[in-house]
Amino acid sequence: MKNPFDRFYHVPNSQELLDIAFKRGMKSSAQVSKNAHILIKAKKKESKRIKVTIDDLINRILNIIKMVPMIDDLPDFYRELASLLVNTNNLKLALGKLNGILPVLRQIEREYTSKLSKIEIPKEGDQLRRAAFGRISSIINKQNKNLIYLNSIRGNLREIPSIDPTSPCVVFAGYPNVGKSSLVKNISTNKKIEVQEYPFTTKKLILGHLEIKRKFDKIKLQCLDTPGILDRPMTLRNNIELQAILALRLISDFIVFVFDPTPACGYSIDSQIELYYEIKFNFTRDGKVNLLIVINKIDLASPSEIEHLKKELQLQEEGYFLTNALTGENLDQLITYLNNRYTDTN
């Protein structure tokens, strides 16, 4: 499914909305006979200016509201991820307040159109139109905080990856700085993933694809790079960690758990093992989602560090991979494994 917030574009502030609407209103001209009385011309001209201004504002506000999908109608993954990235209650409230001013603007149009029909001199028409614009400005300016808020959150929501529910999704999980981003970057199409030597570089879900050729067709395997997760109670995990948990819980078809057996990542082997078992027992949905172990940074790891990890996990000779994600060492074996796994399912 395409990111439902993909069309959440720039939201203008109140002054931007007013400037555009007033400019269009003042440029508009009513269809009036050249021979019509000057009073009739004034009535028609100012009524048209008010109508065009209000029509423009209502259309732009409706477009803002329509850019944001109905949160409660979204699939679970997108609904829950949106609630991690922004306060969805505040989002709904801001949209509701914008929607609430639309009938008020229409009421102003009706009110001043009625008043304009009763003027006795052309000068009164200009005065009434200015008064109408003043009331319009007051109403729109009161929404400035909501408009600024909507524009401030749209970037986070637009960065949500577009997950295809019909294609399998491999979720790469583990502690921060163990090499998840390097792995996804080097085996998938996404070469723009930021990789640094310090933890918590990845602060959002990042998607890449690996093309799998099968007997009669080919699929794009979704490879999801997740933020690092710490081994701690769920209530203490921040929104960045909870994004990874959400991906494991709702969209993982297969989990690759990445270990760093060296002190390089800054986290102990015992902590990584605890997290591994938490994911294995809590996020594989009763064995319906398989889990593969990747032991990364073998260029830095000593044989004893690798053997210690294998012993603690009770690993046999198969069922895990030793890799160096930065140099690409043994990544061809991982790609072959994934190819075989998803080729055999056809």
pLDDT in tens, 111-131: 999 999 998 898 999 999 999
pLDDT in tens, 148-207: 999 999 999 999 999 998 899 999 999 999 999 999 999 998 877 665 554 455 788 999
pLDDT in tens, 26-49: 998 766 666 667 887 888 899 999
Same domain, 190 and 300: yes
The pLDDT of residue 197 is 54
CATH (domain of 208): 3.40.50.300
> At 346, is the pLDDT very low, low, confident or very high (cuts 50, 70, 90)?
very low
Per-residue pLDDT, averaged over 296-313, amounts to 95
Same domain, 140 and 193: no
DSSP state letters, 214-231: -SS-EEEEEEEE-----S
- pLDDT of 310 > 90? The answer is yes
Same domain, 203 and 310: yes
Same domain, 113 and 178: no
Same domain, 61 and 181: no
CB–CB of 118/42 below 8 Å? no
Query: Is residue 9, in this structure, part of any structural domain at all?
Result: no
Closest by CA to 147, choosing from 56, 51, 68, 81, is 68
Of 158, 179, 201, the residue at which a domain comes to its end is 158
Of 158, 192, 220, the residue at which a domain comes to its end is 158
Which stretch of DSSP H or E encloses residue 210?
A: strand 206-213
Give the domain range for residue 187: 169-344
The pLDDT of residue 38 is 82
CATH (domain of 105): 1.20.120.1190
- pLDDT of 146 > 80? The answer is yes
Same domain, 154 and 213: no
Query: Is residue 7, in this structure, part of any structural domain at all?
Result: no
pLDDT in tens, 49-100: 999 999 999 999 999 999 999 999 999 999 999 999 999 999 999 999 999 9
Same domain, 50 and 199: no
Same domain, 192 and 123: no
> At 303, is the pLDDT very low, low, confident or very high (cuts 50, 70, 90)?
very high
Cα separation, 50 vs 106, in Å, equals 10
Query: Is residue 278, in this structure, part of any structural domain at all?
Result: yes
Query: Is residue 42, in this structure, part of any structural domain at all?
Result: yes
For the chain, what is the mean pLDDT? Answer: 91
Which residue intervals of the chain are DSSP H helices? 14-27, 38-67, 76-85, 88-100, 102-116, 122-141, 144-158, 180-187, 239-250, 269-282, 303-313, 331-344
**pLDDT > 70 fraction of the chain, expressed in percent and rounded:** 93
The pLDDT of residue 235 is 83
Same domain, 150 and 175: no
The pLDDT of residue 100 is 98
Query: Is residue 3, in this structure, part of any structural domain at all?
Result: no
Cα separation, 124 vs 188, in Å, equals 69
Query: Is residue 135, in this structure, part of any structural domain at all?
Result: yes
What are the φ and ψ backbone dihedral angles of 130, each rounded to 5 degrees? -65, -40
**pLDDT > 90 fraction of the chain, expressed in percent and rounded:** 75
Q: Three-state DSSP class for 114?
A: helix
The pLDDT of residue 40 is 78
Start-to-end CA span in the chain (Å): 22
Of 130, 158, 186, the residue at which a domain comes to its end is 158
Burial (0-12, 13-18, 19+ Cβ within 10 Å), 278: middle
pLDDT in tens, 228-239: 998 888 888 999
Task: Say how many C-beta atoms besides its own lie within 10 A of residue 211's C-beta.
Answer: 11
Cα separation, 128 vs 111, in Å, equals 10
Same domain, 270 and 292: yes
Same domain, 98 and 208: no
- pLDDT of 285 > 70? The answer is no
Query: Is residue 1, in this structure, part of any structural domain at all?
Result: no
CA 343 → CA 29, 161, 180, distances in Å? Answer: 66, 25, 24
The pLDDT of residue 165 is 87
What are the φ and ψ backbone dihedral angles of 269, each rounded to 5 degrees? -60, -40
The pLDDT of residue 173 is 95
Specify the number of domains making up the chain: 2
Query: Is residue 163, in this structure, part of any structural domain at all?
Result: no
| Residue given tokens 């490879």 in the structure block | 223
Same domain, 102 and 185: no
